Amino acid sequence: MNERDLAEFCHSLSGLTEENRRILAQFVLPHLLTVLADRQGACQCATREEYLQRCTADPAEQRKLYMACFNSTSEFFRDRWTFSLLERTYLPPLLARGGFRAWCAGCAAGQEALSMAILVEELAPVLAGASATIFATDIGPDQHALAMAGRYPRSQFRHMTLERMKRWFLPDGEALQAVEELRSKPLYSTHDLLDNQAFCPPESIFGSFDIISCMNVLLYYNHTTQVRLLQNFHRTLASDGLLVVAPAEIGIVNQSGLFANLCDGSIFNVVPGETCPK
């Protein structure tokens, strides 16, 4: 299957909305092939062709295929090195000037946004109570409710210190729940990063973010879409704003020419003067 076959297959899925089909066609081919193989196994089809035929004829399966494309795996302080750089070097000056605005784009059930909120809350008292707003968005229909509940399996805490875990979470059966004070910090909403009408969450009104963290999202999309997403981030960051991605996405950002790598890691700043098509 090549890119063209994929586009044709996506186009044939009449059980999906046009919007869903448009999004599906923007995933990178290896990701879609993995998801197709998983669904083929789940449907006990002997070959990919058999699965494609079945899927084309079955709107319920089309919906399952679409949903399976959104991997929502996440954990707290997922890339420890990046969060430690944010805590020690990059967040304090941004917080100190007041009115800090962050956007966690593709936040799953809130693990990344709460990791950021913990750093902000811990740094704010030493910075004279600097005010901060964290917008946190995801496309997944279930992610918003999960984030609002703030309840997470213990396996997602392996990068968090015990001290932080005790300070910010309470045991809830087999899981841990974020204390209300923390849970209420990110402003969660459902938002599609590929929405042509909204470059950033509408409730943030004008963007101008000090930080956009978008970790483990770019890598699921094709090159054209990756560039478009990075152009949107470039446009909605403040002129000295930072973009944070996952280590596996550093190459994607470097190639775009829109951001400069700050630390040989996954933190970038906007290249001044670089403009994006409107």
Ligand X SMILES: C[S@@+](CC[C@H](N)C(=O)[O-])C[C@H]1O[C@@H](n2cnc3c(N)ncnc32)[C@H](O)[C@@H]1O
Positions that interact with ligand X (CB under 6 A): 70-74, 78, 106-108, 111-112, 138-140, 143, 192-194, 215-217, 246
Which residues are within 8 A (CB) of 118 and not within 5 positions of it... i.e. 6 or more apart?
A: 164, 168, 182
φ, ψ dihedrals at 198, nearest 5°: -135, 110
- Distance separating alpha carbons of residues 31 and 70, to the nearest angstrom: 10
CB of 217 to ligand X, least distance (A): 4
Which residues are within 8 A (CB) of 131 and not within 5 positions of it... i.e. 6 or more apart?
A: 98, 99, 100
Closer CB to ligand X, residue 51 or residue 70?
A: 70
Closer CB to ligand X, residue 130 or residue 183?
A: 183
**Would you call 43 exposed, middle or buried from its count of C-beta atoms within 10 A (0-12, 13-18, 19+)?**
middle
Closer CB to ligand X, residue 22 or residue 48?
A: 22
Element (H, E) at 175: strand 175-178
CB of 74 to ligand X, least distance (A): 3
Closer CB to ligand X, residue 2 or residue 196?
A: 196
CB of 194 to ligand X, least distance (A): 5
CB of 143 to ligand X, least distance (A): 6
- Distance separating alpha carbons of residues 248 and 217, to the nearest angstrom: 10
247, 232 Cβ separation under 8 angstroms:
no
The gap from C-alpha 182 to its chain's centroid, in whole angstroms, comes to: 19
CB of 95 to ligand X, least distance (A): 21
Strand order in the sheet with 175-178: 151-153, 175-178, 169-172
Closer CB to ligand X, residue 85 or residue 217?
A: 217
Taken in order 136, 139, 144, 147, is the CA torsion positive or negative? Answer: negative
CB of 151 to ligand X, least distance (A): 16
**244 bridge partner residues:** 213, 267
Closer CB to ligand X, residue 225 or residue 256?
A: 225
- Distance separating alpha carbons of residues 199 and 206, to the nearest angstrom: 9
CB of 233 to ligand X, least distance (A): 13
Closer CB to ligand X, residue 130 or residue 236?
A: 236
